[in-house]
Structure 1
Amino acid sequence: MAEKKTIAQFGATGPTGRYIIDEALKHGYNLSVYTRDAKKLASFAGRVEIVVGDLQDHSAIAKCVQGAYAVISALGPNGLKVQGDKPIMRGLTNIIAAMKQAGIRRLIQISTAAYRDPKDGFAFKPHAFALLLKVIARKGYEDIKATGELVANSDLDWTLVRIPNLKDGPADGSMDVGWYGKAKLSMKLSRGNLAKFLVDPVTDRKFVRAAPGIANH
């Protein structure tokens, strides 16, 4: 029997994180999960490896990614309160450095329409959504944009998964995937469908070095 692959997961304690953990366990992956607060992952104790640290803790990040086949990051600005200058981009810079040190190439990172891909056309709703975010949460918008650029300019086997508004809900697989302005993409996505889309490309090469938008049908 083939050895089980390990995924290192960041952004695990947010509302989406638990869906990703469940989906990865369902696929039979080992999980190394990074958090600032182990208590928030108490329900997964014994089923995943929990590594405690913040996004500036180089040795804890290195420990989390050691031996992993891929990194899934659900890190994103926390609502309207962004502490400091581009904390997600800075944290991801440390994660990418640890990945390179450990020889890990696969990175799957959540993003939004705030990051524009060269393949995009013009789409009114995502464009308006990004502009609204820029107005009401400028620091968050700039962090998402800078994080997308950091990932896209890296030499890793990256995928940026750009998402609309998230809601709780299971994975039913009814998703549209494509580029803004080219594909018909709604402004809603269930966390279960997102988790499925994040875990599936761990071994699927279809969206390597690509930034698809995804949404519920």
Structure 2
Amino acid sequence: MKIALFGATGPTGKYIIEEGLRRGYELSAYTRDTAKLSDYASKIAIVTGDLKDREAIRRNIAGSDAVISALGPNGAKTQEALPVMNGLRNVISAMDELGVRRLVQVSTSSHRDPQDSFDLKAKAMGMLIKLIARGAYDDIKAIGALISGSGLDWTLVRLPFLKDGPANGGPAVGFYGKAKLGMKLSRGNLAKFLFDQVSSREFVRAAPGIADRS
């Protein structure tokens, strides 16, 4: 099975790549800077380009069975509104053209799922992002609307605060206001959950929240 990766050069990227390799998947990773993936050059395919390069995005996805994206606002200064959403629009377009149906994308509590109930901690986290990083908040909301409105078999994986660390038995999973979800998640647990979703149908066209177990 081949998986196309986006956002694999960020802090979570090495966990995602190593989890995929452990599972024996063929991986193709998209990056603007090939040097950032030099440790994996002999183990994965690397496609270089930015999120406006539709042809390079298409090359990264071609032949894949699914796409895993850890793309998200990173605080970088840009004059463009909704840069990640606009990039993901190109990813979705390429998936449609190539007939790739499965998309697993990271998100946050700023995106609401219809199965959510009121959750004070999730609400507060979303408001904090909105207060200190309005551009990122708007981008996250737009990403959720774009993907949930697509015709793909998508899953939006909503995260709390991430920390370095291995998978340790799997995260708590559920919908805000209904499941007991904490405020921290190890990057190893995230990587494991993302790959679990490739073949699972449990959360297709849904946005579960995940967190480390207490």
Same fold judged by TM-score > 0.5? Answer: yes
Where on the TM-score scale, by shorter chain, does this alignment land: which range?
over 0.9
1:194 is matched with which residue?
190
2:36 is matched with which residue?
40
- The structural deviation recorded for 1:81 is 4.1
2:173 is matched with which residue?
177
2:127 is matched with which residue?
131
Q: Distance in 2 between matches of 1:66 and 1:115?
A: 29
1:154 is matched with which residue?
150
**Matching residue's letter, 2:174:** G
2:45 is matched with which residue?
49
1:16 counterpart = 2:5:
no
Deviations 1:124-152 (A, max 9, x none): 11101100110110000010011011111
How many residue pairs get aligned? The number is 213
Q: 1:71 pairs with 67, 73, 85, which one?
A: 67
Moved over 6 A (4+): none
Deviations 1:145-202 (A, max 9, x none): 1101111111100000000000000001241100011111000000000000001111
Using a 3 Å threshold, how does the CA distance of structure 1 residues 186 and 139 change in structure 2: closer, same or farther? same
Contact 2:88–2:143 (8 Å) recurs in 1: yes
- The structural deviation recorded for 1:82 is 5.1
Q: Distance in 1 between matches of 2:182 and 2:76?
A: 23
**Matching residue's letter, 2:120:** F
